Chains A and B, each alone.
Chain A
């Protein structure tokens, strides 16, 4: 039972039977390290936006409406006076394309939600919110749990962006504290939690290999789509065979 031993934390799925208070505590514990990682990232985004000459209200509008750090970073890198409208729109679409996969996958676990809850919830579905939803959701994702991870992260992101916009110049290099690696270590942990799903090892290897090749050939952000589709294709190709995941 590697599953239960290694996933001692994650077997606490957010069952609808759990009390709301338990769900919220679990959610806050899950989202705390994400907020630690998102804070310096948000500060960097806010500082970059201010450097590009965006007024404070536009910076906050951007974080409030897009709420997707990597794509905001790409948009700001391309920003100019005037901004190249369609280039930025298509670049953001390319970076955020993976959310289509997220909503297809996680939507299956949100069928018991009201339409308002579901379409409101999707607005806040950033990478860690999606992955925690998959990890804790089981077949029916708890709306209380989802709200309790997504809403604090959303407001944390707004606060971090505002801090960066106002005081960005004072911030030291996040590398000094290893903060640039928090997200990587956290994602590595999350990937490992999916290792008991069917064919996890070939899926992960295919994704990593294609992502690295695409990173050095086509270049970012296409490594994400390349790796993702390689892994998903492996999963579809192997579907139905005996699951042979041994780690």
Chain B
């Protein structure tokens, strides 16, 4: 017997997710001109959301992860993406090997 509930659930989850991916645009496209406060709020979305995702990973996982995150922040302010990844991940691997 085929479990149609599971298929129905997966399709529903896909639709819900797609709804979130078009929802903001559908709402905003009803306004012609955006007020400067709304524009500023939208310009803040990438930094605000990314920071919220990464903050617990960086600050609440463990001391080694926090140190590696601090190294990644310094690298990100001065160096390239690849250098940031190598220094951030590399420092964590070294710490885990030595102190792990």
Contacts and interface: CB of A to CB of B under 8 A. Distances in A.
A227 B57 CA distance: 13
Interface residues on B, range: 35 or more
Given A93-B16, A239-B40, A231 B56 contact: no
A65 B15 CA distance: 8
Contacts of A194: 46-47, 50
A58 B60 CA distance: 34
A87 to B, nearest CB: 11
28 contacts: A65-B10, A82-B5, A83-B6, A92-B16, A93-B16, A101-B42, A101-B45, A104-B45, A127-B53, A134-B45, A184-B72, A188-B54, A189-B75, A189-B76, A197-B47, A203-B44, A203-B47, A204-B47, A211-B55, A212-B59, A215-B56, A216-B60, A224-B53, A227-B53, A228-B49, A230-B48, A231-B47, A231-B49
Interface of A: 6, 8-9, 33, 54, 58, 61-62, 65-68, 71, 75, 82-83, 85, 88-89, 92-93, 96-108, 110, 118-119, 122-123, 125, 127, 130-131, 134-135, 175, 177-178, 181-195, 197-200, 203-204, 206-208, 210-212, 215-216, 220, 223-236, 238-240, 247
Interface of B: 3, 5-7, 9-14, 16-18, 20-29, 34, 36-60, 65, 68-69, 72-73, 75-78, 80-82, 84-85, 88-90, 92-93, 96
